[in-house]
Structure 1
Amino acid sequence: MLHRIVASVFAFVFVLALTGMVTAASADEPVTVRLKWFNQAQFAGFYVAREKGYYSSAGLNVDIQAGGPDFPAIQMVAGGNEQFGVTGADQILIARSKGVPVVALAAIFRRNPFVLFSLAKSGIRTPTDYVGKNIGVKIGGNEELIYRAVLAKTAVDKSKLNEVPVKFDISPLLAGTIDVWPGYLINEVLAAKEKGFDVNVVSPTDYGIDLYADTLFTTEKMLAEKPDVVRKFVTATLKGWADAIAAPDEAAKFTLKYGSKLAYDHEFAMMKASLPLLQPDAKPLGWMDAANWSAMQKLLIDAGFQKTPVDVSKAFTVEFIK
């Protein structure tokens, strides 16, 4: 009889333990983050946070999804099936001006990596050298916005330029059919150098044009209904980015797990080029200022990219940044 009682007690304890294990296993909150572009070291902090268990330790089961032209982050998150996204800060303002209730949580790239660059042998060094040249333009996005702002700041008459719509393949620049290319310090500039070409770079920040680039965001609904999940996700993500900054080589290695065609040398170079853009000053990683958002909005409205102004104080929050 005693044996049966003991056996029953052990069975009951085992069931309780098993139930606890199942409960623990299912306790993680499933969330998805939609990246701005294809998987690469540009998003290394997210990979680090996942690979080092920062998300799981926070009770989150995070699905990292690549972005790109077919999967625009704003639309994917605003649709309600995904909780977080990464996009340019300008897109947050434009979306809000159209009634889309998205809110920025952290500016990952506080300095914008977008630049205008040319082959060194061309002798093109400043925007005033663009006159009479073939200038590549990525139409309709923040690349065009920043490019036109540079022209305005330097009083270059665009009618004296031969503007040519381009996409992402830099072959026309390398072949000499395009003289100036709109690209990124952390990508196309590196690609040109890897192919043996020296380049001259015009940085818009040198002309006072500095839009936050990759910006982590969510929806007003998510903030209202699950603020604790938002806090955990932002905290774990920024911890991942802090580690990526401290150990860019490790971050590049983690990145390789997220793309079969990625090469370590390029991803490591991308990480190194990103470092001064991620934390350019003593402010906390991810920090955002109202003045920068207001300046961004003015730039967007003046250029006709944003039709109506919005309350910038509602477009972002630093509540979850330590």
Structure 2
Amino acid sequence: MRSSVPVLLAALLLAVVGCGGAPAEQGKQVTLTLNWYPYGEHAPFYHGVKQGIFSKHGINLKIQAGQGSGKTVQAVGGGQTEFGWADTSSLLAAVDSGVPVKSLGVYLQTTPAAVQFFGDKGISKPADLKGKTVAVTAGDALSKTFGAFLKQNGLAEGDVQVQNIDPAGKIAAVIAGRADALVGYANDQGPIIQDKAGKPVSQLRFADFGLTYYSDGLLTSTALLDKDPDLVKRMVAATTEAWAEAEKNPAAAVEAIKDASAQLPPPAVVLDQFTATRALLHTAGTRGQAPGVNTEADWRATIELFARTGILAAAKEPSTYWAQHLAPKG
């Protein structure tokens, strides 16, 4: 009987040792900073943690709220967080200004950006916004792309009355009637407003009116890309797996995020948010591929659109912004 002890101990040791000799339940401590407070769009990350997907890849993931894509990109570039989740327009503008970051794959490949309003406002096309009061948040990614949306549709920024309000205040302004509409994500504010007000919300989606571009995705610093490419590869693989699993099981993903934040809306609203998010995961060029798989053609289309509308000074090669060699593969 004594001779079986070493064998038993060896088996137990193998059972608890994970990647690189670290305990599987621990892995490397890694922080992901979101673009905003948690909402339905972020459910796959919490689902991945709960299902052990990140730990399987040797990552002990800490998810923390952000304060806008621009600040998240800056935090990643400054080494304050290993990874970020942010809007592509913010990443491109930051890279052009010298922030050392790169995208690891865009997951929301059709922008959820939209002008949102109650259905009784008589708005059905961009021209109907003329003279209307629209709430925006100064300095965020959408404040820049809203101007491009107006320009794309023959309007000037002076054709609408812009109210600069903090993100939470935008929702309150629309519900109270102090603003006719707000600019935000259709997979975020829309379901919240509809739930709070109890009446239908309509939208002018940028993508439906000539402004289709890449939206939210995973990014890291060029320093981490150089220092620890293996960690980056594992983070990308875990993220893509978590999103694929959440896409197949949205109810479980919503259950996983339920305790993420005191600001989180009711579960039914979170499910609506994630359902809307799932519709944004692919373009014609990536349909049938894993979440986060991008094409060079889609990257070029996004870059050229932002250059044409003045968000970027000039169009550059996708490799300027995208670490294609470490990005998810189909």
Q: TM-score, normalised by structure 2?
A: 0.85
Flag structure 2 segments of 5+ consecutive residues without an equivalent: none
1:1-322 equivalences in 2 (<5 Å): 24-25=22-23, 28-69=27-68, 72-168=71-167, 169=169, 170-194=171-195, 195-262=197-264, 263-280=266-283, 281-307=287-313, 310-319=316-325, 320-322=327-329
SS at match of 1:103: strand
Which residue identity does 1:293 align to in structure 2?
Answer: W
The answer as to whether partners of 1:118 and 1:180 remain within 8 angstroms in 2 is: yes
SS at match of 2:212: coil
SS at match of 2:203: strand
Moved over 6 A (4+): 17-22
CA distance in 1, matches of 2:104, 2:95: 14
Alpha-carbon distance, 1:289 to partner: 3.0
Which residue identity does 2:115 align to in structure 1?
Answer: L
The answer as to whether partners of 1:97 and 1:308 remain within 8 angstroms in 2 is: no
Structure 1 residues 157 and 227, CA, compared in 2 at 3 Å: closer, same or farther? closer
Which residue identity does 2:182 align to in structure 1?
Answer: W
Which residue identity does 2:288 align to in structure 1?
Answer: A
Of residues 99-108 and 252-261 in structure 1, the stretch that sits farther from structure 2 once superposed is 252-261
Structure 1 residues 239 and 14, CA, compared in 2 at 3 Å: closer, same or farther? closer
Larger radius of gyration: 1
Flag structure 1 segments of 5+ consecutive residues without an equivalent: 1-5
SS at match of 1:117: strand
CA distance in 2, matches of 1:297, 1:284: 22
Report percent identity of matched pairs: 26
CA distance in 2, matches of 1:232, 1:42: 21
SS at match of 1:210: coil
The answer as to whether partners of 1:97 and 1:309 remain within 8 angstroms in 2 is: no
The answer as to whether partners of 2:37 and 2:263 remain within 8 angstroms in 1 is: no
The answer as to whether partners of 1:97 and 1:310 remain within 8 angstroms in 2 is: no
